[in-house]
Amino acid sequence: MPQPFPTRQIGPFTVSAIGLGCMNLSHGYLPRPGTADAERLLLHALDSGITFFDTAALYGFGRNEELLGRTLMHRRGEFTLASKCVLAEIDGKRGLDGSPEAIARVLEDSLRRLRVDHIDLYYMHRLDPKVPVEESVGALVRAKEAGKIGAIGLSEMSAATIRRAHAVHPIAAVQTEYSPWTRNPEIAVLDSCAQLGIGFVAFSPLGRGLLAGNVSGAGIGEGDLRADIPRFQGDHLAANLALYEKMRALAAEAGCTPAQLCLAWLLSRGPHIVPIPGTTNIAHLDEDLAALSLDLSDDVLAAVDALFPAGAAAGARYSRMAQAQAGTETFPDEELV
């Protein structure tokens, strides 16, 4: 039976305090696992007590949803399922379409791939600047009224956009990159979520693997999305690996791993925050979940803050194209390209 992990509230859902980001089982990072290994990891996560699984139409252009559909849906009542629209495949390429028609079409495709008739939490993956957020949210409200989704979420959007969307219909969750080296949600989004009663889901909580010790000075190979991110290139990468070494030393002194320290730090930032690390490795997953049993002192958590003030990471957190699609606030001196 799953362990009685600590839980947190995301909108109407009570979920494990750490969820699973499923993207890199099918998309983005290399190497990708084989089918059997990916299925094994998903089932291990569920058996271990994770009750919050996050996917998207974009991931593998539907292959990630298909993976979850065939692997987990015979145990559908045991977990909260989240997926996303707006950012998806368009004519064989990554594309952005927040029109009500596109949202309805992508949702139907996701339901089919996931082998369900209802998705618990459905996010706008990004804001389409060509479509008022009110129109996109309206399409999701209609999907909710039809019983096809249970709650509405937003991903990588500003506090102002969140408030506009929330005025149309209560938003259950906001998802944004958040880790010690990516502090942008602290500018305005975290406070807005707390004020409005919105759950906050932290993706890439381990710095896209770098803060877990999974990136070397040799850099990232071609075909991995991180190869296009400035933080993983040249002098920026060297500077960020130097930061990681300081994090590793701090974790060793605290008696945990750097990944566990990252997750414990995130969980300490507010009761409405749920990190969703992703991994292709069962041992790494178990390591991440062990963060839930840590009891770290305020001094250790403060030391993480001191090590990673805003702007500590070298280089932009997105490629030029991806940054153009992210609405989250930036720091005044943040490098954007």
pLDDT, one tens digit per residue, over 238-250 is: 999 999 999 999 9
Kindly indicate the confidence band of residue 91, based on its pLDDT and cuts at 50, 70 and 90: confident
pLDDT value for 337: 61
User: What tens digit of pLDDT does each residue of 19-76 get?
Assistant: 999 999 999 999 999 999 999 999 999 999 999 999 999 999 999 999 999 999 999 9
Query: Cβ–Cβ contacts within 10 Å for residue 282, how many?
Result: 14
* Inter-residue contact 85 to 142 (CB < 8 Å): no
Number of H helices and E strands in the chain, helices first, is: 11, 12
Coil, strand or helix: which one is 276?
coil
What share of the chain in percent tops pLDDT 70?
Answer: 99
Averaged over 83-107, what is the pLDDT? 93
- Determine the Cα angle at 186 with ends 250 and 320, to 5°: 95
pLDDT value for 182: 95
Q: How far apart are CA 314 and CA 281, in angstroms?
A: 27
Mean pLDDT estimate for the chain:
95
pLDDT of 257 above 80: yes
Tell how strand 13-16 and strand 7-10 pair up: antiparallel
Cα dihedral sign, 100-178-23-242: positive
* Inter-residue contact 52 to 37 (CB < 8 Å): no
190-204, 219-233, 236-250: range with lowest mean pLDDT? 219-233
24-33, 112-121, 255-264: range with lowest mean pLDDT? 24-33
Which tokens go with 295? 């009891």
* Reported pTM: 0.96
pLDDT of 335 above 80: no
* Inter-residue contact 15 to 52 (CB < 8 Å): yes
Q: How far apart are CA 117 and CA 112, in angstroms?
A: 8
56-65, 108-117, 128-137, 221-230: range with lowest mean pLDDT? 221-230
What's 8-209+263-296's CATH class?
A: alpha beta
Helix axes 298-307, 234-254, angle to 10 degrees: 170
What share of the chain in percent tops pLDDT 90?
Answer: 90
Q: How far apart are CA 116 and CA 206, in angstroms?
A: 31
Query: Cβ–Cβ contacts within 10 Å for residue 275, how many?
Result: 26
Kindly indicate the confidence band of residue 107, based on its pLDDT and cuts at 50, 70 and 90: very high
pLDDT value for 3: 52
pLDDT of 293 above 80: yes
pLDDT value for 334: 82
Q: Which helix (H) or strand (E) holds 11?
A: none
**So which residues are the catalytic ones?**
59
User: What tens digit of pLDDT does each residue of 126-182 get?
Assistant: 999 999 999 999 999 999 999 999 999 999 999 999 999 999 999 999 999 999 999
Q: How far apart are CA 232 and CA 218, in angstroms?
A: 10
